[in-house]
């Protein structure tokens, strides 16, 4: 593998405010979406909540505010709003689903029906002030848009993830905020950026943490088996189905299902997945019974799903259903200041110390690791670490112990500029990438000492400070501890 320096997708270090996919241009349908790719230290997430109040009937005054994907109403105590006194309401009367088009009122096959503004409905969209009648109760619906500020966490670690950079600490803040909310999440990021770790953290910090976490890699399963892996199969459903088997959704009941590499899911299976998400029930391949499932869905992909939708490879409705919250994990080359901490933490693992003794990286070796492009992200970093641990003998890890690609020995090829930009923008981007790489590397070599970095680079200390600030580098994190 050759290192060609920074990847063109590092276009600009400050692409502006958080982007909202699927947001209604009028702003009427704000979603919980967020893309964490930008540099500002505080991020705002739009939460889409609603309030439902009993405005007439025996339960007058009962109210609920919900940020869930579905809010259930009926006389059974498990509902989000329980109509305790209303004897004409069904046990599970209706629910309100949060969808990409707004809040959808769905009758749950109630005995006496659900009425919206006087008309009986099966499914209908709600608007502010809508009056819903169920049994002898009238309920008033009000959407609430709330903006929540996510500040970066102070701690540079969360559930086994290490990240001192502002970008990662922001993601830690977001995970802590959204984990308890029972909503779907899409995690996007290049291979090896830690998507599975994020999914595990969300599960661990959620109310479902005692339930199972079932991981299904949609890209690793042969196409002819994916349907039965997802939904299960009955004995004899196809050649080789010697016994019946529950699918991933059934096994995740009460917990979380993590659909890795969702972008690889066959187009013809996407509507089936959407139906499961909408109805929360599955039917095994070759089976007739409908099985209710209750699990949170977290999906991950290294593809740009918005582009996949545009090119007809991914269904927009499925994307909207799943992407109530989006988390964009930045590639490692955009958070190089995390590298020393990730390595320090990995070197301090008890089994590493037991097998290899205490080890540390020389400043030169660390500088090279921080200057490398890491196309395989943290996974590649971990692989390089295993290589290094095998090949270095002493306590200090030197440049000679690093693989040649990291040492830059097979660095070749043209300058990594983006030919789709104007000359001026391409030049500016190239310069910014160079500045960031150069300063990161010199700071790593000088162990975060700004004065030494100024001396070695021939820059004024003030210029170094300006560049550290501009690229949000963590000079302190590079100091030896
Ligand atoms: N922030 C982090 N701190 C420490 N280790 C990390 C971090 N992010 C990722 N890793 C490690 O990097 C490796 C890859 O992580 P993970 O499998 O979560 O990535 P991924 O994005 O799901 O990869 P893929 O796209 O290939 O499925 C794992 O060994 C994981 O423990």
- Give pLDDT tens digits for 109-132: 999 999 999 999 999 999 999 999
Structural fold of domain 47-146: Tumour Suppressor Smad4 (2.60.200)
- Mean pLDDT computed over every residue of the chain: 83
CATH fit for domain 423-471, picks 1.10.10.60, 1.10.15.40, 1.10.3720.10, 3.30.70.20: 1.10.10.60
CA 423 to centroid of ligand 1, rounded, Å: 36
State in words which class domain 151-236+244-328 has.
Answer: alpha beta
> What was the pLDDT predicted at 11?
22
CA 215 to ligand 1 center in whole angstroms = 14
Nearest to 10 by CA among 428, 325, 326, 340: 428
Q: What are phi and psi of 159, to 5 degrees?
A: 45, 50
CATH, domain range 333-406: 1.10.8.60
What residue ranges do the domains of the chain occupy?
A: 47-146, 151-236+244-328, 333-406, 423-471
- The CA distance from 85 to 111, in Å, is 17
Nearest CA to ligand 1 atom 2: 161
The response to whether residue 262 sits with its C-beta less than 6 Å from ligand 1 reads no
Given pLDDT bands bounded at 50, 70 and 90, which one contains residue 6? very low
Instruction: Over range 72-101, report the average pLDDT.
Output: 92
Q: How many CA atoms lie within 13 A of 375 on its CB side?
A: 9
The model carries a pTM of: 0.70
Q: Which residues pair with 292 in a beta bridge?
A: 281
- The answer to whether the CB of 215 is under 6 A from ligand 1 is no
- What pLDDT is stored for residue 20 in this prediction? 27
**Which residues fall within 8 angstroms of residue 220, CB to CB, at 6 or more apart?**
261
Q: Pull the structure tokens for residue 333.
A: 């080359």
User: Token pair for residue 335?
Assistant: 């958070």
The listed range with the strongest mean pLDDT (117-131, 215-229, 274-288) is 117-131
Do 151-236+244-328 and 333-406 fold alike per CATH?
no
- Flag whether the ipTM exceeds 0.85: yes
Confidence class for position 301, pLDDT limits 50, 70, 90? very high
> Does ligand 1 lie within 6 Å of residue 191's CB atom?
yes
CA angle (387, 389, 391) in 5-degree steps: 70
């Amino acid at each position: 593998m050759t290192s060609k320096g920074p990847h063109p997708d590092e276009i600009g270090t400050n692409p502006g405010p958080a982007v909202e996919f699927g947001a209604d241009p009028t702003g009427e349908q704000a979603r919980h979406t967020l893309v964490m790719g930008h540099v500002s230290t505080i991020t705002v997430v739009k939460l889409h909540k609603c309030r439902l109040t009993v405005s007439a009937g025996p339960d007058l005054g009962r109210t609920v505010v919900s940020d869930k994907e579905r809010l259930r109403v009926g006389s059974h105590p498990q509902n989000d709003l329980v109509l305790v006194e209303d004897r004409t309401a069904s046990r599970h009367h209706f629910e309100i689903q949060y969808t990409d088009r707004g809040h959808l009122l769905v009758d749950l096959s109630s005995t006496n029906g659900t009425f919206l503004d006087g008309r009986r409905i099966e499914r209908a969209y709600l608007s502010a002030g809508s009056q819903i009648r169920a049994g002898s109760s009238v309920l008033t619906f009000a959407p609430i848009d709330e903006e929540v500020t996510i500040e970066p966490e102070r701690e540079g670690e969360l559930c086994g993830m290490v990240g001192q950079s502002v970008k990662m600490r922001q993601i830690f803040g977001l995970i802590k905020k959204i984990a308890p909310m029972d909503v779907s999440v899409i995690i996007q990021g290049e291979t090896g950026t830690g998507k599975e770790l994020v999914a595990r953290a969300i599960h661990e910090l959620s109310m479902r943490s005692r339930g199972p976490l079932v991981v299904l890699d949609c890209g690793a399963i042969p196409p002819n088996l994916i349907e039965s892996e997802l939904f299960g199969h009955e004995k004899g459903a196809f050649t080789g189905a010697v016994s019946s088997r529950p699918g991933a959704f059934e096994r995740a009941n009460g917990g979380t299902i993590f659909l890795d590499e969702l972008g690889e899911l066959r187009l013809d299976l996407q509507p089936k997945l959407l139906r499961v998400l909408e109805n929360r029930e599955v039917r095994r391949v070759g089976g007739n019974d409908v099985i209710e499932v209750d699990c949170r869905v977290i999906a991950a992909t290294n593809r740009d799903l918005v582009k996949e939708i545009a090119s007809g490879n991914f269904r927009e409705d499925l994307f909207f259903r799943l992407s109530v919250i989006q988390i964009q994990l930045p590639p490692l080359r955009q958070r190089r200041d995390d590298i020393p901490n990730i390595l320090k933490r990995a070197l301090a693992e008890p089994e590493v110390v037991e097998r290899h003794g205490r080890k540390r990286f020389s400043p030169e070796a660390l500088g090279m690791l921080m200057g490398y492009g890491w196309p395989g992200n943290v996974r590649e970093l971990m692989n390089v670490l295993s290589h290094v641990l095998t090949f270095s003998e002493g306590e200090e890890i030197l440049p000679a112990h690093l693989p040649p690609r990291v040492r830059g020995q097979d660095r070749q090829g043209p300058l990594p500029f983006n030919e789709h930009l104007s000359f001026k923008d391409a030049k500016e981007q190239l310069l910014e990438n160079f500045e960031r790489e150069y300063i990161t590397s010199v700071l790593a070599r000088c162990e975060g000492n700004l004065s030494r970095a100024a001396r070695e680079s021939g820059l004024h200390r003030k210029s170094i400070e300006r560049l550290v600030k501009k690229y949000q580098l963590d000079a302190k994190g590079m100091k030896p501890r």
